[in-house]
Amino acid sequence: MASADDQANKRNLKRHYLIYYLRVFNRENGEVLGHLVDITTKGVMIMRDAPIEVGGTYSMRIRWRNSAGKLQLADFEGVCRWCRPDVNPDFYGAGFAITSASPEHIEAIQGLIDDLSMSGKSGE
C-alpha cells in the first residue's frame, strides 16, 4: 500500500517519452546528471549510472535542436523526489519535480516535448 507521501509525489500529467535520450546537465559545473527518459512541464525522469540524493535541489539544463535545427536551452531547478535501481542494475532512475523555471523555459520544455516526443504534439 502506498503511503500518503508517495501519493503526493505521483504525477498528474501525462508522461512524454522522447525519441532521443538527451543529456541533462548540472548548470553549476557542466557535468552530465543523466539522460532524459521522460518529461512534462512539471518534472523529468533521468537515467544515470549512480544514485543521486533524494531531496537534493539541482540546477539543470537540457540542450537540443528543434525541428528547424536551432539550438534550444531549458534551464530550471529540480528537486529529486525519488531514485531507485533500474531493471538494469548498472543504472538508476531518478524523478525530479521542476521547482523553478522562467515562463520562457517552460515554453521551451513544451517545445522539446512537441519536437521530440514519440506521441507527437502534446496538447498539455
103-117 tens-digit pLDDT: 888 888 888 888 776
Q: Which CATH class is domain 4-45+53-116?
A: mainly beta
Dist. CA 43–CA 37, nearest whole Å: 11
Mean pLDDT computed over every residue of the chain:
82
Q: Could you state, in order of their start, the residue ranges of all structural domains in the chain? A: 4-45+53-116
Dist. CA 114–CA 80, nearest whole Å: 24
Confidence of residue 15 (pLDDT cuts 50, 70, 90): low
Neighbours of 120 (CB within 10 A): 10
pLDDT at 12: 57
Strands (E), the chain: 16-17, 23-26, 32-39, 43-48, 57-65, 71-85, 92-100
Neighbours of 31 (CB within 10 A): 9
Please name the amino acid found at residue 30.
G
